[in-house]
Amino acid sequence: MGEMFTDEEKEKINKVRRAGFYRYYLSYVSDQRYVDEFKELVGPDAEIKLKIEDKKGLEFVAREFVKSDKVSLIAARGDLYVEIDRPHEIMAALKLIIAKDPRACVGSRIMLSIVDEPVPACADFLELAWLYDSGYREMMLCDEICLKEDLLTPAVNAFDSFRLAYAASN
């Protein structure tokens, strides 16, 4: 098999590296060879987050994923939810990811009710509790919320209130 990255991609990665960046996100990861080659390009000090967004990614997590201090998983729920065969399988997918990487992050489709209402829905807080109880401690909001300050501030405040209250109750 040939190299996973084109010369143009390698040059872009080198520019980013030379600019001093050391944190990277890889999308639609489904092959350890891809991760290994990327690690060679960015160097041993780089932190790499692998976004799991489809069935191939879940198969990679189940069979090939190699956990290390500098490599962790992201359960990219927005894409993952639409890419799996049956929507109700999202819970098993999220449990697989956190089981393979206890430091995994979960992202997107979180607290979406805040787009339409100033106070998050009860279901949002229950979802946060389920994610927390499943082992997730790092969570990301979606672009729809993050790119709008009038939505981001109440979402962050709600997250922080949840974190303080729920963690204290456990």
- Domain ranges for the chain: 1-108, 110-170
Q: Report which of 89, 23, 4, 103 is spatially closest to residue 54, judged by C-alpha positions.
A: 89
Query: Phi and psi (nearest 5°) for 147?
Result: -90, 5
The CATH code belonging to domain 1-108 is: 3.20.20.60
pLDDT at site 4: 83
Residues of the chain where predicted confidence (pLDDT) is lower than 70: 1-2
pLDDT at site 167: 78
Q: How far apart are the first and last CA of the chain?
A: 50
Report the SS3 class of residue 130.
Answer: helix
> What whole-number distance in Å separates Cα of residue 131 and Cα of residue 106?
8
pTM of the entire structure?
0.91
Distances (CA, A) of 113 to 3, 28, 35, 85: 43, 27, 35, 25
